[in-house]
């Protein structure tokens, strides 16, 4: 989630609808300038007892951040607390219960992306060895209740934690108990954005199935392969979901803008603090009628903040975010961007992927999305067969797209090798979660604590 690093007192006021459209238009880039930004979260735990450390305890989350500064990261401070880090590899930030996230730098190819992930994970492992901390790659805490978890001292989180129970039953679980991998990708034009958005949204259930990795709640199977994905279905209907309008004729920046204006606000950032505006209207803000800031009108930075508080399966800012995957192991961090880059950064691959899904109805897309958290790769697709069968065809398209990019490393390897973990999943016909459930019912003998040994970085 976005971390504000400075106040924007000198930021221009929003004067027109063109100002609201500007972030989307400024995101347009020629193909040679397209980049890959990968975000990945992981759970932090005490090795001695698997407890989630608090922010300010000795060897806790604050100390973890400060130790990372020895690798060249610069602290980002809010109200006297270090709540993030910035550096050449992007930003390190905290999710609400101390989940540690790397929001990576925009990079030219997947070889650089995977190297960046490796640097970060090696750094946190080195700090973990010093502080007695471990890092777990999963989509949801396997054994923690909400009450077991700390809350980080970030102003926006206090507002969100108060607001979530008003609009859904599982929003607190989303904030406190989940982790994800995401990839951020560029577009050349409004039409290119729309084409990529549609393919990304239609195929997001496939990504959810391939990366499903959250089958446990408080130490027991929860009946889902991706409980993290299920959580999003009962978090806040005003800011989540499959966005049916994306598939309508004429979809573009204006339509997404209207959607974003109708997403209720969370906050306004002023003078280093977050002001609670939860449930209030950005349209009222534009008119100078926001109850939280009477007679004040929004700045461009307020709009940027607001765009980051919508949580659909694919999100538009000045780039497109693919948001459907659970957190996972090292290889999965490299595999998710490989899937989407292969599909969306090659014109022939993009067209071929759209041909697979273009005839699905809105109801069929929603039915598939609803089925995937429980059924994973066995979910039935609208055109017949299962997601596993569709996945084999889509992965072949992604491979052709990566081969067409011809981005080679020093050893002459293409980017398509980063798809190997997904090939293995499809060959087995099992998501990571299904494999974990086999272990739970087999040699783990119903003891989920073995997961700390097997899924830690």
Alpha-carbon distance values, 3 to 11, 85, 102, 446 (Å): 17, 10, 12, 39
Q: What is the pLDDT of residue 10?
A: 73
Q: What is the pLDDT along the chain (457 residues), one digit of tens a residue?
A: 556 555 556 799 999 999 999 999 999 999 999 999 999 999 999 999 999 999 999 999 999 999 999 999 999 999 999 999 999 999 999 999 999 999 999 999 999 999 999 999 999 999 999 999 999 999 999 999 999 999 999 999 999 999 999 999 999 999 999 999 999 999 999 999 999 999 999 999 999 999 999 999 999 999 999 999 999 999 999 999 999 999 999 999 999 999 999 999 999 999 999 999 999 999 999 999 999 999 999 999 999 999 999 999 999 999 999 999 999 999 999 999 999 999 999 999 999 999 999 999 999 999 999 999 999 999 999 988 999 999 999 999 999 999 999 999 999 999 999 999 999 999 999 999 999 999 999 999 999 999 999 999 9
Distance CA 382, CA 327 (A): 27
* Cα radius of gyration (the chain): 21
Q: Which pLDDT score, from 0 to 100, does residue 383 have?
A: 87
Contacts of 95 (CB under 8 A, 6+ apart): 1, 41, 101, 152, 175, 179
Which pLDDT score is estimated for 74?
98
Helix (H) / strand (E) element for 184: namely strand 180-185
Among candidate residues 388, 369, 373, the one with its CA nearest the CA of residue 430 = 388
- DSSP reduced 3-state for 374: helix
SS3 at position 345:
coil
Q: Is 70 exposed, middle or buried (0-12, 13-18, 19+ CB in 10 A)?
A: exposed
Closest residue by Cα to residue 156 from 55, 272, 283: 272
Question: Is the CB of residue 24 less than 8 Å from the CB of residue 256?
Answer: yes
Please tell me the distance from the alpha carbon of residue 233 to that of residue 221, in angstroms, as a whole number.
Answer: 19
Q: Are 381 and 387 in contact (CB under 8 A)?
A: yes
Q: Where are the domains of the chain?
A: 17-454
- Is domain 17-454 annotated with CATH 3.30.590.20? yes
Closest by Cα among 220, 144, 142 to 441: 220
Residue found by looking up tokens 């106040």 in the block: 7
**Of 272, 400, 387, the residue nearest 6 (C-alpha):** 272
Q: What is the DSSP string of 74-133?
A: EEEEETTEEEEEEETTEEEEE-TTS-EEEEPPPBSSHHHHHHHHHHHHHHHHHHHHHHTE
pLDDT of residue 5: 52
Q: Whole-structure pTM over 0.85, yes or no?
A: yes
Q: Where are the alpha helices (DSSP H) in 203-329?
A: 204-211, 227-232, 253-262, 282-286, 300-307
Calculate ∠ Cα 148-152-158, nearest 5°: 100
Distance of alpha carbon 424 from alpha carbon 438, whole angstroms: 17
């Amino acid at each position: 989630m976005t971390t504000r690093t400075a106040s924007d007192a000198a930021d221009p006021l929003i004067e027109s609808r063109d100002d609201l459209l500007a972030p989307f238009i400024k995101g347009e880039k020629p193909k040679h300038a397209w980049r890959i930004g990968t975000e990945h979260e992981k759970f932090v735990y005490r090795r001695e007892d698997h407890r989630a450390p608090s922010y300010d305890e000795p060897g806790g989350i604050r100390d973890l951040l400060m130790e990372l500064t020895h690798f060249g990261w610069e602290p980002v401070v809010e109200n006297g607390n270090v709540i993030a880090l910035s550096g050449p590899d992007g930003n390190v930030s905290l999710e609400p219960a101390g989940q540690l996230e790397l929001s990576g730098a925009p990079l030219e190819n997947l070889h650089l992306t995977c190297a960046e992930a490796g640097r970060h994970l090696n750094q946190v492992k080195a700090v973990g060895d010093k502080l007695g901390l471990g890092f777990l790659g999963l989509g949801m805490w396997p054994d923690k209740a909400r009450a077991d978890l700390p809350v980080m001292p970030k102003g926006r989180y206090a507002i969100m934690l108060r607001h979530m129970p008003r609009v859904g039953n599982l929003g607190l679980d989303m904030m406190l108990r989940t982790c994800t991998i995401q990839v951020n990708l560029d577009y050349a034009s409004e039409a290119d954005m729309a084409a990529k958005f549609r393919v990304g949204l239609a195929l997001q259930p496939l990504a959810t199935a391939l990366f499903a990795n959250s089958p446990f709640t408080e130490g027991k199977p929860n009946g889902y392969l991706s409980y993290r994905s299920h959580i999003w279905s009962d978090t806040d209907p005003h800011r989540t979901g499959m966005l049916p309008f994306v598939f309508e004729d004429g979809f573009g920046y204006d339509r997404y803008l209207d959607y974003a204006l109708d997403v209720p606000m969370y906050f306004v950032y002023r003078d280093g603090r977050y002001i609670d505006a939860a449930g209030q209207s950005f349209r009222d803000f534009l008119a100078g009628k926001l109850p939280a800031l009477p007679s004040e009108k929004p700045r461009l930075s307020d709009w940027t903040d607001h765009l980051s508080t919508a949580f659909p399966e694919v999100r538009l800012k000045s780039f497109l975010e693919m948001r459907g995957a659970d957190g996972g192991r090292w290889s999965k961090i490299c595999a998710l961007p490989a899937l989407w880059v292969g599909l969306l950064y090659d014109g022939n691959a993009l067209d071929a992927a759209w041909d697979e899904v273009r005839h699905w109805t809105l109801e069929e897309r929603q039915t598939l999305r609803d089925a995937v958290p429980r059924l994973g790769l066995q979910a039935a697709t609208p055109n017949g067969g299962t997601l596993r069968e569709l996945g084999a065809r889509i992965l072949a398209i992604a491979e052709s797209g990566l081969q067409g990019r011809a981005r080679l490393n020093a050893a002459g390897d293409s980017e398509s090798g980063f798809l190997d973990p997904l090939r293995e999943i499809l060959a087995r016909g099992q998501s990571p979660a299904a494999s974990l459930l086999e272990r739970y019912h087999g040699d783990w003998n119903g003891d989920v604590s073995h997961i700390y040994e097997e899924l830690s970085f």
